[in-house]
Chain A
Amino acid sequence: MTYKDKLDRILLKVQKPSRYIGGELNSVEKDPEKVTMRFAFCFPDTYDIGMSHLGMKILYSLINDVPGYWCERVYMPLPDMEEQMRRHDILLYGLESLQPIKDADFIGFTLQYELSFSNILAMLDLAGLPVYAKDRPALTPIVCAGGPCVCNAEPIADFVDLCILGEGEEVNLELMRLLERCKAEGTTKHEFLVRAARIEGIYVPSLYEVEYNDDCTIKSITPTEGAPEKVRKRIIKDFDSVFYPDTFVVPFSEIVHDRAVVEVLRGCIRGCRFCQAGYLYRPFREKTVETIEKETISLCESTGYDEVSLTSLSTSDHSEIERMLGTLATYSDAARVNLSLPSLRIDRFSKELVDRIKSVRKSGLTFAPEAGTQRLRDVINKNITEENVMNSCRIAFEGGYSSVKLYFMLGLPDETMEDIDGIADLCQKIIDLFYSIENRPKGGIKISVSLSTFIPKPFTPFQFEPQPTEDVIRERQKHLMEVVNKKRVTVSRSHFDVTHLEAALARGDRRLSAVIYSAWKKGCKLDGWTEYYKYDKWMEAFKECGIDPAFYVNRTRSYDEIMPWEQMDVLVSKEFLIRENKKAHEAVPTPNCRESCAGCGVNRCVGRPCFEYDK
């Protein structure tokens, strides 16, 4: 019986079956006889989430454009589907071929968040493969991982064969060509890995020996067999002409981001000290308005989507944002397509921009001051003043908006109760501003405060910082609830349980592989889903492995401590991070990259300054 027949027997017994059958518009089918390299691209979360991910769409099209190479999409089934699959001996399969992925040449995971780690094990197991790399002696499938979390891949080091650091548009194909050669030569898996480690951006964890000090900190990380001392992040130098798909697979069912997406720039000039993406995706590169327009039209026309989103870490930092919006609006008006603009910077919020967004869709406005006082905003280098916030709100209110969403972080380094009071004060000032405006919208103002918990991440100036303990976090949350204007402000808080685990995994070392294995054995998976998350099982797993999460979460790390990710080079120097950390504790902000160069080190690789400065 084929997998299609087997699936036909079970799909009507699961929720939203169309996400498990493939065959969507623009999905790529190839003749298996003519395929030399099969890449099973796994997003370690459900279809609805994974199908929304832009990076996967880019690499999917890129690989499939190569004759003989076939990239398939694979997602984590929900428990109802997993149960049916296990009952009917259906191994995890690719949506394009409906064939088990254990027979693919590569099984590649994209790691977007730490809470997806346990899903790697769950998916390998569902694929019928051993979860530990050492138990998979054959040359194929090679299990690899990419995405931001591989900047510290140590917690999953025992499960994957190799990691791809940085942008995959070039290196993925180099890797596939190497495996194609090794298969032809009949090399061992080990030989392939040794050769792969010579490709820039490839990290093979098994080729590095890690020694620990008595206090469990790392003593040394030693490369073997010619693997590089430092694995250098790959970047695309000519971003304007980088490969971009002219079409997306259009899912049958509604997914989280169900629209066309155009990437307008990569990197970020801002340097917020808590933000890992802001450092990992450096240098700042943007596409020309013409390229963005071309990609927008091509995507909308080939998918039929009536909404297109301009995405990046900070879209309004595009040097030609106003011209871009003007050009795109001409197209979107004529084609009756909606234009949506996430991640707008508060201080770039001009009247024109408000009008532009308003002409598309009048939803609420979202600002991210992140901290309640100017002092703390200077600590985290969120270069926004209260005046910026107020000006933006005034424009918004006068433009007819009456609801505002504000993002804040709690537990930031050097945070005091005054900073928590500052959040409530800022909300009150916005409320007062609203009622002071004569032509304000009818009805009252609504402010939603989203209060997340600070999680120190590798390759940020805060990688040395502790996350406050549970007591401190709960006390500060409680304090905010007491001082905030409850009539006008609703506060949503992140769950301590979840941020605690994420904090441990983010800066963990190789010893955590045992914890992840143990937690998975206890049934942990889909940890990003509140209904499936089992914090107590995770804590049990830590305990059984004799590891205290506090070692990773609540400890201040000295500048000279060897970090578990010291062998990775994301092109931002540790000296720079230390410099920024010191400035943070002095509450001194750093100007954004466009104003002046802070010397992070990334232009070593660009070979020239990131921006043309006047002087």
Chain B
Amino acid sequence: MANTATKNMRIFFSKTGRAIYISHLDLYRLFQRSIKRGKLPVWETEGFNPHVYITFALPLALGTAGVRESLDLKLIEDISREELISRFNDALPRDIRVTDAAEPVMKPTEIALSEYEARFECDNAAFAEFLSSEHIMTEKKTKRGIAELDLKEHLDILERSDGYLRFTFPSGTEFNINAGLLFDAFEKQFGTEIYTLRITRTAIKCRNGEIFH
């Protein structure tokens, strides 16, 4: 099979269960191995250490589940969407499932925000008070060091009840807020620990409000 790219593809996958503990770098290697294992016709880099070439639109933080994450690759051979999906799923570990594949429409640079769903157990009154405060200050690591950040400014709450929160945070190549920071800030401010926190990224949206696809 000649290693010549013929078609760009965007693969959509879920990362749940035990797979939430896989770091982004490890996920990258995991997909490379799965492509090898599934003998998928994916373009590899040339050179001394050839490797399967894949890129992720938006990394998912360790500990956060995702239901529609994506990665881009180049096919070197025509293969049907159905076969691509099923061969991926045969090669992947159980808790990572490819759900869809299509030619990419949007550019990863168009990504603007992520929608999350969080389930947790904590003092509900305290959490309500936390959310209603004027500022939610936290520290964020940046390339230039640690910067102060007001999460409240960027937080958009879509739905809430006791132990449940649906919200959005900015996402993208330029500016990105890890959903976990919100709960870290709560733990820090109220001197309490949330143990059963489950965060899922439910959607990635672009500047025009459309779902990234």
CB of B33 within 8 A of CB of A303, answer yes
Please give the residue numbers on chain B whose beta carbons come within 8 Å of chain A beta carbons, in ascending order: 17-19, 21-23, 25-26, 29-30, 32-39, 44, 48-52, 62-63, 91-95, 180, 195-198
The winner among B19, B29, B180 for most chain A CB atoms within 10 A is B29
The verdict on A364 contacting chain B, using a C-beta distance below 8 Å, is no
**A 7-63 contacts with B by CB, 8 A:** 8-12, 16-18, 20-25
User: Which of B17, B48, B196 is the one whose CB lies under 8 Å from A23?
Assistant: B17
The verdict on A252 contacting chain B, using a C-beta distance below 8 Å, is yes
CA distance A403 to B93 in the complex (A): 40
User: Which of A21, A301, A303 is the one whose CB lies under 8 Å from B18?
Assistant: A21
Q: A9-B195, A18-B26 are in contact. Are A304 and B35 (CB under 8 A)?
A: yes
User: Which of B21, B34, B196 is the one whose CB lies under 8 Å from A21?
Assistant: B21
The winner among A12, A23, A305 for most chain B CB atoms within 10 A is A12
CB of B34 within 8 A of CB of A18, answer no
The verdict on A253 contacting chain B, using a C-beta distance below 8 Å, is yes
CB of A24 within 8 A of CB of B21, answer no
CB of B44 within 8 A of CB of A24, answer no
The verdict on A361 contacting chain B, using a C-beta distance below 8 Å, is yes
Shortest distance between the CB of B167 and any CB in chain A (Å): 19
User: Which of B23, B33, B93, B198 is the one whose CB lies under 8 Å from A305?
Assistant: B33
- A-B pairs with beta carbons under 8 Å apart, 27 shown: A8-B196, A8-B198, A10-B195, A11-B63, A12-B63, A12-B197, A17-B21, A17-B63, A18-B26, A21-B18, A21-B21, A252-B26, A252-B30, A252-B93, A253-B22, A253-B23, A254-B29, A300-B36, A303-B33, A304-B35, A304-B37, A304-B91, A306-B32, A306-B33, A306-B52, A338-B49, A361-B48
CB of A304 within 8 A of CB of B36, answer yes
Q: A18-B21, A23-B18, A304-B35 are in contact. Are A12 and B62 (CB under 8 A)?
A: yes
Interface size class of A (residues with CB under 8 A): 20 to 34
Shortest distance between the CB of B173 and any CB in chain A (Å): 25
A302: chain B residues within 8 A (beta carbon): 37
User: What are the nearest 6 A-B pairs in CB distance?
Assistant: A304-B37, A304-B33, A23-B18, A304-B36, A9-B195, A18-B21
The winner among A11, A17, A20, A252 for most chain B CB atoms within 10 A is A252
B33: chain A residues within 8 A (beta carbon): 25, 250, 303-306
CB of A16 within 8 A of CB of B23, answer yes
The verdict on A555 contacting chain B, using a C-beta distance below 8 Å, is no
A20: chain B residues within 8 A (beta carbon): 21
CB of B30 within 8 A of CB of A301, answer no
A12: chain B residues within 8 A (beta carbon): 21, 62-63, 180, 197
CA distance A23 to B29 in the complex (A): 16
Shortest distance between the CB of B5 and any CB in chain A (Å): 15
